A and B are shown apart, each in its own frame.
Chain A
Amino acid sequence: MRPYGDRSPFEKTLRGARESTKSIGVGSSRTPLHELYGTITPSSLHFERHHAGVPAIDPAQHRLLIHGMVDAPVSFSMEDLRRLPSVTRPHFIECAGNGGGELAGNAGADASRSHGLLSNSEWTGVKLSTLLSAAKMQSGASWVIAEGADACRMARSIPITKAMDDALIVYAQNGEAIRPEQGYPLRLLLPGWEGNASIKWLHRLHVASEPAMSNQETAHYTDLHPTGKATIFSFEMEASSVITRPSGSQKLAGPGFHEISGLAWSGRGKVSKVEVSTDGGKAWQAAVLDDPLMTKAVVRFRLPWQWDGQATVILSRCIDETGYVQPTRDQFLADRGPNSTYHYNGIKSWRVEADGSVKNV
């Protein structure tokens, strides 16, 4: 008997990680999407992106301060927060830079390297609107600046409309306390928005009439267009999808039946349809979506497939409830050019060779 369980020693799936050689604690790790099933990312395999390491925080000492344009500045302990009405919801978190290599023409060899800055968890916490109501926001309050307790005091400005809509302050992930790398003991969760804005190790919310224009939201997470102008506060992650089986680095055992399966998601709401092509994009078929379809959460799609043993290209595209259709890479490039860095969501193709090996196209 083990007090805290672990997986079978035969299971070896790991995150791929990249860390700065000079500034220890700066880096990212990727969820091995191509080696997982279902929709929930095991907490141990959730992707990470840290800008200044992972702080060690004693939850008994941790507090969340709300101040600024409020009549009742307030400080919450973790227990104060757990006493409040809570919700549990599945949501994905996707790094704004997910797929950046695909955009740059430096495509990943497998679904981890192409799309692994995406994970999906069941989160539990308090609605941010509950906390802001308790602090009695003043009229004219239109932004909330969220700050983390990491060494760089990561800060992002969040429009009050999102704060009062579906923003959550979460303390649990997949049924247990959130992991240190995900912001233990407390993080902001902005469903459907770029991961960087969901501040981890949250310790301060500053209500204001304007954004702080922090370096993260100006110098970094902005999308440069070919005109030289850049989009700022481009928070939403648009509809995207990736086939995870068969996908890069895998090998089909031989001709015959293979289920094609993958993940689809949209930061604007529910996925309404996923279409799959097994002939390089000439014909498209609607895939089956696993129930339940939850808003701003990953959905698993599936399509039965008889592989005839010929080399081909398989691809998927996501359509969300707003009617938005996932673009091709060429369409994306035509709109935003090659240097926009963030929010890439072009259709991903995998080439199945006659010998069954699957490669990036």
Chain B
Amino acid sequence: MFEALVISTLLAQAVTGRPANADEIRNFDITVFPDGKGLPAGKGTAANGKEIYKAKCAECHNEKGEGRDQQYPRLVGGVGSLASPKPIKTVGSYWPHATTVWDAIFRAMPYETPRTLKPDEVYAVTALLLHWNGIITETFELNEKTLPQVKMPNRDGFISDARPYQKLKK
């Protein structure tokens, strides 16, 4: 009893590490949330995005986001296909949040040199993909305020996990 108490008191003191300060958190934190929290200030249109896309994205994703073989699936089109025998999952047909497009490009692209695009360039390429998917016009300005307000076609396409679905009998 006494020993258990000593151990639990010691475990409560199991604290190491050093305090993290606001600057290091700011420099390290790249999370972007669906409501736009975490998006940096910046702006871009689909028109601005064309040259950047051609230079930095087209080699893999093809000239207009049509993809290349299985390694680089389509980014554009497929709306209405999800319930068909051959669903086409793209930014336009499947992704529920526009903020995810910005985050995925900034975080991980271009593949060889991720996180080298400036915020304005990421807004512009995001705008281009949304435009090619018919979600915004070519001149619509995406910025940290307008991006979270873009409603994606498949925004309501997701359901929470309700498994097990099976009503199995042996």
> Which A residues are within 8 Å of any B CB, using their own CB?
20-23, 26, 51-52, 65-67, 72-77, 80-81, 83-85, 130, 134, 145, 147, 151-153, 155, 204, 206, 208, 210, 212-215, 218-219, 222, 224, 226-236, 238, 324-325, 327, 331-332, 335-336, 338-339
Cβ B14 vs Cβ A84 within 8 A: yes
Contact partners of B94 in chain A: CB under 8 A:
218-219, 230
Chain A to chain B contacts (Cβ below 8 Å), 12 pairs: A52-B111, A74-B20, A76-B17, A81-B16, A213-B100, A214-B100, A215-B101, A215-B104, A218-B97, A227-B83, A228-B157, A235-B161
B116: min CB distance to chain A, Å: 11
CA gap between A336 and B166 in the complex, in Å: 10
Task: Name B104's closest neighbour in chain A (CB-CB).
Answer: A215
Cβ A335 vs Cβ B108 within 8 A: no
Q: Known: A153-B30, A234-B161. Contact between A73 and B19, CB under 8 A? A: yes
CA gap between A294 and B52 in the complex, in Å: 52
Cβ B114 vs Cβ A153 within 8 A: yes
Cβ A233 vs Cβ B160 within 8 A: yes
Cβ A212 vs Cβ B14 within 8 A: no
> Which B residues are within 8 Å of any A CB, using their own CB?
11, 14-21, 24-25, 28-35, 60, 71-72, 82-83, 85, 87, 89, 91, 94-97, 99-101, 103-104, 107-108, 111, 114-115, 157-166, 168, 170
CA gap between A210 and B97 in the complex, in Å: 14
Cβ A23 vs Cβ B19 within 8 A: no
Contact partners of B20 in chain A: CB under 8 A:
65-67, 73-75
Task: Name B152's closest neighbour in chain A (CB-CB).
Answer: A218
Task: Name A324's closest neighbour in chain B (CB-CB).
Answer: B164
Dominant secondary structure of chain B at its interface with chain A? loop
CA gap between A21 and B164 in the complex, in Å: 38
Cβ B19 vs Cβ A215 within 8 A: no
Instruction: Select which of B31, B114, B158 is within 8 A of A231 by beta carbon.
Output: B158
Task: Name A153's closest neighbour in chain B (CB-CB).
Answer: B107
B96: min CB distance to chain A, Å: 6
Task: Name B34's closest neighbour in chain A (CB-CB).
Answer: A213
A344: min CB distance to chain B, Å: 13
Cβ A84 vs Cβ B161 within 8 A: no
A287: min CB distance to chain B, Å: 15
Instruction: Select which of B19, B97, B165 is within 8 A of A336 by beta carbon.
Output: B165
CA gap between A235 and B163 in the complex, in Å: 10
Instruction: Select which of A21, A65, A219 is within 8 A of B95 by beta carbon.
Output: A219
Q: Known: A153-B30, A218-B97, A331-B166. Contact between A229 and B159, CB under 8 A? A: yes
